[in-house]
Amino acid sequence: MTELALTQTRILKGVWEGVLSGVTGEPPAVEATWQGQPLDGVEISAMPGRAGWHLVRLPIPATILNEGVQTVLLQAGGKVLAQVTIIAGVPLEEDLRAEIGLLRAELDLLKRAFQRHCAETGG
């Protein structure tokens, strides 16, 4: 079984684009979240002549463009396939803030998965 992989290709005119590979059959539903909130507008389209490859597009909403580091997670089936890190405002002295933003987003994802697990198992 081929592992799904989502590779960023570019950001152009406010739209993030990537290639989803390893798809067998119908592509999975890809969800985008920012600070635990779902983002609308994820588009998936087959790439002509490339079986198992799909183009994924996400318009970056202006509402997430804020001072500091913002991280958008792209997920399918509860697995993080890619993350988009946007840094805006005063230039950062170090990339440490970007790493902290990513860690916070991943921790939120794990927290929600654990809470869902506890709710489903009754423990």
Residue 104 CB neighbour total at 10 angstroms: 13
Domains of the chain: 5-121 (2.60.40)
Contact 32, 58 (CB under 8 A): yes
H-helix or E-strand containing 52? Answer: none
What whole-number distance in Å separates Cα of residue 78 and Cα of residue 16? 20
H-helix or E-strand containing 5? Answer: strand 5-12
**pLDDT digits (tens), the chain, 123 positions:** 468 999 999 999 999 999 999 988 899 999 999 999 999 999 999 998 888 899 999 999 999 998 888 999 999 988 999 999 998 876 665 667 777 888 888 999 999 999 999 998 886
